[in-house]
Structures are given as structure tokens and as C-alpha cells.
Amino acid sequence: MIKGRVKGKIWSSRHVDTLPGGALLEVEIDGGDRLIAFDPLGCDTEEAVLVTQGSVAAAYFIDRTDRTAPVDALIVGSIDETSGK
């Protein structure tokens, strides 16, 4: 898994039919690189998240829709942050 921070939303009014409805978020990972991840959780900008990639991300949709989706990065968790401890 990859730890990152949501930097913004990506809007796509036109896309392939097998892309599920939901949010696409730009996530900054360590080193300053960014990736686009599908968000089934409803995360907000600047929220710390866990991302998985590859076949694990795509397999998430097979269980829910009975078809594959062209998703290579999936947000699988929101990291609870504490301050000062």
C-alpha cells in the first residue's frame, strides 16, 4: 500500500462505460509524485489516505459489479491523524 495525501478532485465528463461512477482524486505520495486514484470512501482534500494499485485495485469492482473496471489505483483507507503525539 501507498500512503498519500489528497490534493484535489479530477472531473471527467466523458469516459469509458466500464469506469464506475464515483470520484477520481489526485493524490500526492512521498517524494512529491502524484497519481490519480478512484475514491469509493468520499475523502476530502488534504486527507491522508492509503492507496493500492494494480490488479488488487481492479478486483475491487468485480465483486461489486460483476465486471472489470479500468482502475489502476484505489483509495482503500482514510488515515486517522493525531496532532502532537
Q: Please write the tens of the pLDDT for every residue from 29-47.
A: 988 999 999 999 999 999 9
- Cβ–Cβ under 8 Å, residues 3 and 30: yes
Q: Residues 46-78: pLDDT tens digits?
A: 999 999 998 888 888 776 666 677 889 999 999
Q: Which CATH number fits domain 2-78: 2.70.170.10, 3.20.20.10, 3.60.70.12, 2.40.50.220?
A: 2.40.50.220
pTM of the predicted model, to two decimals? 0.83
Per-position b or e across 58-70, b if 16+ CB within 10 A of its CB: bebbeeeeeeebe
